[in-house]
Structure 1
Amino acid sequence: MKLLAVLLQAGLSQAGLRFACSQVSIQRLDPIVEPGRVPSTHVHQIVGGNAFNASMAGDIGEQASCTTCAYTEDLSNYWTAVMYFKHENGSYKRVPQYPNAQLGTEGKDAPNIQGGMTVYYTQKDFNNNGKSFIRAFPPGFRMTTGSPSANTLDAAKGHPGLRYTCLQTVLTRGSETPDFPAKPCPAGIMAIHHFPACWDGKNLDSPDHQSHMYSTIKGGFQEAGACPSSHPVRVPQVAYETMWDTSVFKDMWPKDGKQPFVWSFEGNGYGTHADYLFGWKGDSLQRAMNSTCMFHACGSPGVQGVLKTQTVEEMNKCAVKSTVVEETDGWLRELPGHMAPMAFKA
């Protein structure tokens, strides 16, 4: 009855968020899968609030003092593994990242977003949320999607929300594949991570960080199916897009034509995965989900919306001091914390 009252009060809405987050840290920490372990097994690229550390608990929205995301009230943390290029001589080099289309700069002379990713919070699709009320995540909520232990094409196909796009230009969309593109991509590779959007309504986490959620994802940004009775609460459809500039290695492509990219856990494209730790301040995410704004109309430089925004310069200033001091870039003889792909389980 309490949830029904909220539904009647809020009504249905049409809202969706798409915003950039610059890098807050690149290091071997994973407070969800390996809480307290320093260092964790493989390198992650992390964006969001500066409360990120090896052990995170409680209301993250009240712990961080800044964020690398465009919306100042979003102090959440979002992370994925890091992509590396594996040279024919056996050495590795971290693949650089670049901003997504229409999110790169504020103007000709403005600073550019530093790496990072694009984050989405959508409902039914990019136009409305259909007949479902979308409930914001509660403080302390966390989840993961995918698994680094997946090492077959069939396993990858079992996660329709985890895909890659071979970018012909920064605007290329569609033609998604479950594994790394087999040929060089002119504008790089976009890695896509869609999270489940059905919650059991009780648990902020689960032992495998996934069982408290249920996925109805059909792939891409298609409308998800109805939530089952076991996971009846519709939450925002969270998704990440990371633009990896693999084009800088076009002149180093292996002579045998073999695809040369690996994730930081020495995994091929099948084992892609991502982590989400909710940290929106107060009721800010629920306000956005209850509104009728879409993308830039929710708030952006020069546009007053339901959410507060900051400049790219302010985003780039927020950072986290590395707990794990090691080389993650340069040309490396081996991946940091290297271990066999099947040795680590989510």
Structure 2
Amino acid sequence: MYWQPLLAAAAVPIGVNAGAMLRFSCSQLVVDRLDPLVNPGTAPSPHLHQIVGGNAFNTTMDSSVNDIPSTASCTSCTPAEDFSNYWTATLFFRARNGTFKALKTKGNPLGFTAANGGQTVYYLGPQGNAKVTAFKPGFRMTVGDPSFRTAEQIKKYPMLSYTCLQTSMTRGGETTHFPKDTCKVGIMVNIRFPTCWDGVNVDSPDHQSHTAYPSGGRCPSTHPVTIPQVFYETIWDTTPFNDKSIWPTDGSQPFVWSFGDPTGYGVHGDYVFGWKGNALQNAMDANAQCNSDLLGNRINCPVGKEQSIQQGNQCNLKNRVKDPLDGWLTELPGGMPVQ
């Protein structure tokens, strides 16, 4: 089972059979200290997240009772029938005096500059005509571990990385740690979820063991069902902090995740499936390069109803946890230590 090279969709050569690929924009829905997977029912959760997708996102999203497509009234994604939620931690700049400034996400310069932040979302299938089974209602998963701080630990998750964008087309030189130099366009965080499922459980106690990465190009016997690879590209606007005279005096990189990680090895992502009906399965069955055009307006495969990026920008939620996020902060939200 060969998975396509993980390049920007706009950079995939025309005519190359790279397998099913659905690519679209999801604008920022909310930045909030909630996590209905890892900390269900807890407000606030320990650290801050940036969330995109449907406005059914809530403190608790119980897979047994929460019918996401019927609960949500809008989505920040351009497929108008995708009410899934996609979220990551948030990024901060740490100044020499120890204060913090929250960074903003920005629309992908390859087609999605009109987006009000958020991220680019991909659903990728294997090369050729291999059957891909879309997620079932109630499906959710996480990838990564916020406690990781070493290069050895992150080897458990080989498909989490950073790209230091020197231009909008930069797609080489990925690292598993924060970039150590300035990035002219920003830092792109790449989160690629596993592609194999046990075929039974839509969740697991750790939100990970019901999924697995392929080994030797094939799904393991314990996880025999091929599912789409959910892939996030989140571009953090680090450009206001490209002046190295404000970086730490020892020259080390100045960025830190909202959960207190200054290394980057703790990068992680969360996903809750919320597509309406068979829209996602139809897109995967088309086995096409389902890219939005460079205006971000059309997706050239069957995904049900679509909306413009501008319409997606209008879908948002009010913060439930009122953390101060403007200006310079004396500590990370929730008092999260940097370590």
The alignment's TM-score, normalised by the length of structure 2, stands at 0.88
Query: Aligned in 2, Cα 1:230/1:302: closer, same or farther, shift over 3 Å?
Result: closer
Deviation at 1:134, TM superposition (A): 0.2
Indicate the residue corresponding to 2:50 in structure 1.
45
What is the aligned partner in structure 2 of residue 176 from structure 1?
A: 174
TM-aligned CA deviation for residue 305 of structure 1: 3.9
Q: Secondary structure at the match of 1:62?
A: helix
Number of the residue aligned with 1:104: 112
Which amino acid is the alignment partner of residue 178 of structure 1?
T
Structure 1 partner of 2:333: 336
Counterpart of 1:4 in structure 2 is none
Who is 1:142 aligned against?
Answer: 140
Where does residue 255 of structure 1 map in the other structure? 249
The Cα offsets for residues 202-244 of structure 1, whole Å up to 9 and x where unpaired, read as 1111111100001128xxxxxx821111001100011101111
Code of the aligned partner of 1:329:
D
- Name the CA distance, whole Å, in 1 between partners of 2:299 and 2:26: 18
Given residue 281 of structure 2, which amino acid in structure 1 is its aligned partner?
A: Q
Post-superposition shift, 1:130? 2.8
2:23 and 2:120 in contact (8 A); partners too? yes
Query: Are 1:316 and 2:313 counterparts?
Result: yes
Q: 1:280 to 1:249 in 2, by over 3 A?
A: same
Q: Give the CA deviation at 1:102.
A: 2.4
Structure 2 residue 163 is matched with structure 1 residue 160: no
- Which residue is 2:268 aligned to? 273
Deviation at 1:177, TM superposition (A): 0.4
Paired residues of 1:190 and 1:242 also in contact (CA < 8 A): yes
Partner of 1:282: 277
Checking the alignment, whether the CA contact within 8 Å between 1:297 and 1:305 is kept in structure 2 is no
Q: Identify which range, 171-180 or 293-302, moves more after superposition.
A: 293-302
* Contact persistence 1:43–1:264 (CA under 8 A): yes
**1:157, distance to aligned residue in structure 2 (A):** 3.1
**Which runs of 5 or more structure 2 residues have no equivalent in the other structure?**
1-17
Contact 2:26 2:118 in 1 (8 A): yes
Greater share of residues in helix: 1
Counterpart mapping for 1:87-98 below 5 A = 87-98=95-106
Distance change in 2, residues 1:59/1:225 (3 Å): farther
| 1:135–1:234 contact (8 Å) kept in structure 2 | yes
User: Which amino acid is 1:294 matched to?
Assistant: Q
Count of aligned positions: 314
Q: Note the residue ranges of structure 1 that are not aligned, 5 or more in a row.
A: 1-12, 106-111, 218-223
Compute the displacement of 1:292 (Å).
3.6
% same residue: 52
CA contact (8 A) 1:146 1:273 kept: yes
> Which amino acid letter does the alignment assign opposite residue 270 of structure 1?
Y
Q: CA deviation at 1:302?
A: 5.4
Whether the aligned pair in 2 keeps the contact of 1:266 and 1:338 (CA below 8 Å) is no
Superposed counterparts of 1:215-234, under 5 Å: 215-216=213-214, 225-234=217-226
Query: 1:116-145 CA deviation, whole Å, 9 max, x = no partner?
Result: 001010011xxxx33521000001000000
DSSP-derived class of the 2:324 partner: coil
In structure 2, do the counterparts of structure 1 residues 238 and 332 end up closer, same or farther at CA, with 3 Å as the change threshold? same
Matches within 5 A, 1:57-96: 57=62, 58-96=66-104
8 Å CA contact retained: 1:22, 1:114: yes
SS in 1 for 2:242: helix
Separation (CA, whole Å) in 1 of partners of 2:298 and 2:98 = 48
Question: What residue identity is the alignment partner of 2:117?
Answer: G
Structure 1 residues 299-308 or 317-326, which shifts more? 299-308
AA paired with 2:32? Q
Compared CA separation, residues 49 and 88, structure 1 to 2 (3 A): same
Q: Distance in 2 between matches of 1:38 and 1:189?
A: 29
Distance 2:184 2:227 in 1: 36
For the structure 1 residues 304 and 156, does the alpha-carbon distance in structure 2 shift closer, same or farther, using more than 3 Å as the test?
Answer: closer
SS at match of 1:270: coil
Tell me by how many angstroms 1:16 deviates: 1.1
